[in-house]
Amino acid sequence: MRSLPTDPTELRAAYAYPDRPWLRANMISSLDGAAWYETRTEALGSPADQRLFALLRELADVVIVGAETVRVEGYGPVKPGPDGVPTPLAIVSRRLDLDFDAPIFTAGPAIVLTAETAPADRLRAAAERAEVIVAGRDGVDFGVVRAELAARGHTRLLCEGGPSVLGRAVLDGALDELCLTLSPALVGGDPSRILTGPPLPAPDRMRLSQAMVDDDFLFLRYVRGR
């Protein structure tokens, strides 16, 4: 096992996307399986974890996140990378219970991923502030999301959760890779795991492709066997 690179070029090479549509998730977990502490993920992190978080965003064409995570974590627009081009933030929401006057919509490019059952008035409001993709009937189908975003030239996709969004991506068979930071912390209580939702028909086995360490934090990269 090697140390997480500090050189940005080496780190980019270690997390480079393949040359095809690819959905990657980036999550953090405590040693006892908690996805957050006191509703926030940052309490589990470290400077190295934040550095990797920024790098994975920089490499992505689109960052996907659930509406509840946007509200709890206080999301704003994704900061532009070294090329100065801002990365669109794609927000998953069935009901579209979102503040379309918030900076996340007014200060950066945004995409809304929703379902056919979304209220018509909220769909119209969303379309005034963002590109809207209807990606399923009763819920957001991540197979449709992958195809629709790829058709727009967005092939390097990064999902930042939350757990129900990641659960749906896995259930839909759309997740290609999981980047998991294992925090050297025990938190107790009953916070969510990194993935929630209905049980899968069978365990979805993934393959460990990379493992690195920094200050007792493990940075694991799993890819899905297809």
- pLDDT recorded at residue 196: 95
- pLDDT recorded at residue 94: 93
The CA-CA-CA angle for residues 181, 88, 73, to 5°, reads 50
**Strand arrangement, sheet containing 2-3:** 2-3, 206-214, 217-224, 177-182, 22-29, 156-159, 62-66, 89-92, 110-114, 131-134
The structural domains of the chain, ordered by start, are 21-197+206-224 (3.40.430.10)
3-state secondary structure 93-143: CCCCCCCCCCHHHHCCCEEEEECCCCCHHHHHHHHHHCEEEECCCCCCCHH
- pLDDT recorded at residue 226: 57
- pLDDT recorded at residue 8: 93
Distance between CA atoms of residues 63 and 91, nearest Å = 8
Strand-pair partners of 63: 89, 158
66, 90 in Cβ contact below 8 A? no
Instruction: Tell me if the pTM is above 0.75.
Output: yes
How distant is the alpha carbon of residue 134 from its chain centre? 19
DSSP code per residue over 168-203: HHHHTT---EEEEEE-S----S----S--SSPPSS-
- pLDDT recorded at residue 205: 92
- pLDDT recorded at residue 138: 87
Q: Which residues of the chain have pLDDT under 50?
A: none
Distance between CA atoms of residues 192 and 172, nearest Å = 20
**Tokens matching residue 55:** 């790098």
Helix (H, G, I), strand (E, B) or coil at 218: strand
